[in-house]
Amino acid sequence: MLVIIRAFIMAGKEVHFDKTYEWALEIGFTEEEAKQIAHANWQIDIIQSDERYERARHLNVNWLGWLFCRGEPSQMRHAEKHLKEAIKKKSLAELGEGLHSVQDLISHGKWPFFGYHWLGPWWGLRKYNPDKDFSVEKMKMMESKTKDYLRRYLEGARE
């Protein structure tokens, strides 16, 4: 079990730390700022406290909304809440925490958590594993959404 968790964490490090750092630099954050954002982002998968590892932060728990095509994925609720706090407090750690949910929405998809982990594999509803089959197209979307989120912070923090 520990090996599986470690592999998951290492796979997430590429996006949640390495790429986040790179993309933050590209849109104008300093090296120190980019490091703070990337560190806060990656720590969400490392620190296993109840609040930080809340399922809704990583996977969509808005299953009724998903079922009836209403509402937004729970990951976006987390992302928006943290973005508002980051702007208000001028907090890069808060920004990194919110960014984690944006990236997890792209990585894990909008599947409700019960379908993603329990029903999908057994019922054959998922033809691919969104965590493993990470295409070039998906990485471009990840970069675009990450940069958009970071830009929103920069615009809001300037006001």
Residue whose C-alpha is closest to residue 147's, from 43, 30, 21, 58: 21
Please spell the DSSP secondary structure of 86-142, one letter per residue: HHHHT-HHHHHHHHHHHHHHHHH-S-BHHIIIIIHHHHT--SS-TTT---HHHHHHH
Domain boundaries, the chain: 2-158
Tokens of 144: 């675009």
| 110: pLDDT strictly greater than 80 | no
State residue 139's pLDDT score: 84
Residue 60, SS3 per DSSP: strand
Mean pLDDT of the chain: 73
Alpha-carbon radius of gyration of the chain: 16
Write down the residue that tokens 């209403």 correspond to.
Answer: 70
State residue 151's pLDDT score: 98
| 13: pLDDT strictly greater than 80 | yes
What predicted TM-score, i.e. pTM, was given to this entire model?
0.72
Cβ 156 vs Cβ 87: under 8 Å: yes
Per-residue pLDDT band for 136 (boundaries 50, 70, 90) equals confident
Among 19-33, 105-119, 130-144, which range has the highest average pLDDT? Answer: 19-33
